[in-house]
Structure 1
Amino acid sequence: MMKRIRQQGFGLVEVMVAITLGLLLTAAVLQLFVSNNTTYRTTNSVGVVQDNARFAQDLLSKELRMTGYRGCLSKQNVAITSVLESATTLTYDFSAGLRGYNNLTATLPTELSNHLTGDPTPLANTDLLLIQGPGNIPVPIVANNNAAQLFAAPSAMTLLKDGDIALITDCSKARIFQITGLSAAGPDAAGPDKVNITHVSNNNGAHAYVPGNNTSDWDPNKKSDKFGTNAELMSYQTSTYYLATNSVTGQPALYRKLNGGLATPLLDYVFDLQILYGVDTNSDRQTDSYQTANNVSNWGNVLTLKLQLLLGSEETGIVPKKQSFTFNGATFTATDTRWYMPTTITAVLRNRLN
């Protein structure tokens, strides 16, 4: 008699149950992955935007606080004289210390259009700010100047360079000019180690400095031209901040332009910039009201600034629905699912306070 062999294995029902359980497990793993990936993208995007906001706060606050610094003349109402060519253009007019433009349109004011020649076009309905101040720590003057040159401390060789727009100031006057040469000199009868700084005129076309000086000769016998050991020297610059589309990302960015150089993107994904100016209206050196740039009649009366920036994430799909919140006194409603964050920078122009 043949022995019956009993077959063993899984039945159809068992196989279907196993497949179902496997699919459920796979779905759970995929869901966990998607959830973790979404959390990572959100956390990373929020972190980057917050870092960008801190960077903007630190940079702009520092520059704004130094606006109008003129050494010991900072808080005195003494006009700066300038020997620069083009001293009345927006780029090289250092008389006001700062200027602003409100809600720009496609048609820019002539002086601003000239200032931004070759630069990206500002975004419509955003503001623009020009601030002027030192580009480095002051360098002491170590000897009285002569007609052709100034005599500065050795640190000038590392803090200054040919072509710099510079401000020299003592406690009675200040002058803007362009450096056309620096050379180290050893100690001599005139004093200690020093750097000879020239300010050659461009009138003869011999130099390529822009904008150049309109005179080479300073008469040290005149008080207005004499700068001695009570003076200090520093590079001086016009910094222009505005929003424009970055051609690389195709998205708005905060641009910075130094003097007449080309504007470069400083911070990407900045979607709006609005500025209010704290104005002293009764000459008590206290802020009495905040105004938009088009309402400021005297830039010398601006004591504080309030910059409002709207920053956003690089990626879309960060928030489940489009955001809506108050920005610049109105409701901002996003057109996409980026994560947006408003930030406000309030700065006191301390060089204008008594």
Structure 2
Amino acid sequence: MNPSIRQPTSRGFSLVELMVAMTLGLLMIAAIGTLFVANKTNYRQNTLIAEMQDNSRFAMQALVRDIGMAGFMGGMTDLGAIARGSDTLPAIASDCGPGADGSGGWALDNAPLEVLDQPGTGATATHACLGDEPLVPTADVLTVRHVAGLPAAELDTADAEATLRANTFYLQTNRTVGSLFFSGADAEAPDTSHAPRLPPKSIWEYESRLYFVRDYSQTPGDGIPALCRRYLADQASPRTDTECIAEGVENFQIAIGIDTDDDGIVNHYDTDPAVTDLARAVTARIQLLMRSTAADPGYRNDKRYDLHGHDDDGDGAIDESGDGYTPDDRFYRRLVQTTINLHNPALASGSTP
């Protein structure tokens, strides 16, 4: 053997080197884990807030459109001139109680707006159709009536025919007089015995909606509050049905801007307006208290939310300094508000039920 050739010696990590490597590895794992948890938390928070904001936009859009259209009856300003003949109007199953004037049905009443302030369980005394709905007791209930934004038919000559939808309520009018009718299974228009008898006249789809907040969205007990509404369903045997239009609406409040001196400017806002006050309504201020559909275990909501004209602290009095709703839970919330101009002639002219 050649003594000049030396065998290589194997050398591993020392204990100190191994401990340093393990420490660095643990620090990297901890940093990655912290980053993952933070990203997951941010993702959950952003998802819940984005969903809540989408729901608030959708709910506001529906309310703004409906309330802004309140009282629009194809150009009529005297809603008392709308005939409601029993020969053209069938009975409505599950109607929501008497109209604002105390007679007839709710769905075909001629009041453009009706506001029930903080109704609680007493809402069912006014609106029987809500008897099976688990209402949020502090949220307002609102009725809005109008026709669709565009006419279903324009009849300029005596032989003109209308193409209508079946089982739908319509208003026929020449802007001065009008009559409500039901198209039935054959989508029939009324004959010439119903006002207005002579052309030109137009036919508009009639809409009557009742907004409320209940404590579940899809399934009873799911714990997701929702803004819902009753509406006239298109059925051969007419009835009112319920549809929920936005999840996460925890409370709904409306205040009506009243013009007391006929100058077109709001003098005060009323959260519980009488029928005669609604004849002087020029604006409506809406508040929606939105809540995320799910809780975030890493978040605590100790913020305070003030709703107008609302006894949030439950002391029986409305005082701006002491009222306020502080949930102290793990849901995200936003209080959104907007004001709508009520510019339809039927309201501006002081039309009353």
- Measure, in 2, the Cα distance between the counterparts of 1:77 and 1:240: 19
State how 1:136-285 maps to structure 2 within 5 Å. 137-138=150-151, 139-144=153-158, 152-153=161-162, 156=163, 160-180=164-184, 182=186, 197-199=188-190, 219=193, 225-246=195-216, 247-248=218-219, 249-259=222-232, 260-285=239-264
8 Å contact kept, 1:141–1:228: no
> Kindly tell me: are residues 72 and 137 of structure 1, through their superposed partners in 2, closer, same or farther at Cα, counting changes over 3 Å?
same
Q: 8 Å contact 2:70–2:146 — kept in the other structure?
A: yes
1:126-160, Cα deviation, whole Å (9 max, x unpaired): 11111011135212124348xxxxx544xx3xxx3
Superposition RMSD on alpha carbons, in Å?
Answer: 2.8
Name the residue aligned to 1:116: 130
Judging changes above 3 Å, is the alpha-carbon distance between structure 1 residues 28 and 90 closer, same or farther for their aligned structure 2 residues? farther
Higher mean C-alpha deviation, range 253-262 or range 20-29: 253-262
Match of 1:82 among 81, 84, 89: 84
Please say if residues 324 and 331 of structure 1, whose CA atoms lie closer than 8 Å, have aligned partners that are also in contact. Answer: no
Amino acid at match of 1:174: G
In structure 1, C-alpha distance between the alignment counterparts of 2:84 and 2:59, rounded to whole Å: 32
1:37 equivalenced with 2:40 (yes/no) = yes
SS in 1 for 2:300: coil
Q: Give, in whole Å, the separation in 2 of the partners of 1:281 and 1:235.
A: 33
- TM-score normalised by L of structure 2: 0.77
Secondary structure at the residue paired with 2:24?
helix
Q: List alignment gaps of at least 5 residues for structure 1.
A: 146-150, 184-196, 200-216
CA contact (8 A) 2:179 2:196 kept: no
SS at match of 2:213: strand
Would you say the 8 A contact 2:59–2:245 is kept in 1?
A: no
- Of 323, 326, 337, the residue aligned with 1:333 is 326
| Pairwise CA distance, 1:325 | 3.1
- Matched to 1:115, the amino acid is C
What residue identity is the alignment partner of 1:91? W
Report the secondary structure of 2:35's partner residue: helix
Aligned amino acid, residue 346 of structure 1: T
Question: For 1:55, what is the secondary structure of its paired residue?
Answer: helix
Q: How does 1:306-345 map to 2 (within 5 A)?
A: 306-317=285-296, 320-329=299-308, 330-345=323-338
Do 1:269 and 1:312's aligned partners in 2 also have CA atoms closer than 8 Å?
yes
Aligned-partner residue type, residue 81 of structure 1: A
AA at the equivalent of 1:269 = G
Give the 5 Å matches for 1:51-90: 51-73=54-76, 75-76=77-78, 78-83=80-85, 84=89, 88-90=103-105
- C-alpha distance in 2, partners of 1:15/1:289? 77
For residues 88-129 of structure 1, what are the alpha-carbon distances to aligned partners after superposition, in whole Å with 9 as ceiling and x for unaligned? 4453233111111111222434231x2335x52321111111
TM-score (norm 1): 0.77
Q: Aligned AA for 2:119? A: L
In 1, Cα distance between equivalents of 2:156 and 2:185: 17
Check whether the contact 2:215–2:223 (CA below 8 A) recurs between aligned residues: yes
| Alignment-derived partner of residue 142 in structure 2 | 129
**C-alpha contact (below 8 Å) 2:288/2:336 kept by paired residues:** yes
Task: Report SS of the residue matched to 2:19.
Answer: helix
The one of 269, 275, 280 equivalent to 1:290 is 269
Q: Is the 8 A contact 1:277 1:290 kept in 2?
A: yes
What corresponds to 1:16 in structure 2?
A: 19
Q: In 2, distance between residues paired with 1:7 and 1:77?
A: 102
Q: Which amino acid aligns with 1:302?
A: A
Task: Sort the Cα spacing of 1:327 and 1:144 in 2 relative to 1 into closer, same or farther, 3 A.
Answer: farther
Distance of aligned partners of 1:116 and 1:95 in 2 relative to their CA distance in 1, 3 Å threshold: same
Q: Offset at 1:40?
A: 1.7
C-alpha change, 1:71 and 1:318, in structure 2 (3 Å) is farther
Q: CA–CA distance in 1 between the matches of 2:289 and 2:71?
A: 27
The farther-off stretch of 317-326 and 45-54 is 317-326
Counterpart selection for 1:92 from 94, 97, 107: 107
Distance 1:108 1:315, change over 3 A: closer
Q: State how many pairs are aligned.
A: 307
C-alpha displacement at 1:172, in angstroms?
Answer: 1.8
Give, in whole Å, the separation in 1 of the partners of 2:226 and 2:34: 36
Matched-pair contact (CA < 8 Å) for 2:169–2:180: yes
Q: For residue 288 of structure 2, what is the amino acid of its counterpart? A: L
- Could you say if the C-alpha distance between residues 174 and 309 of structure 1 is closer, same or farther in structure 2, counting changes exceeding 3 Å? same
Once the two structures are superposed, what CA deviation does each residue of 1:317-351 show, in whole Å capped at 9, x if it has no partner?
27743141332144221231222101113212211
Q: Percent identity?
A: 25
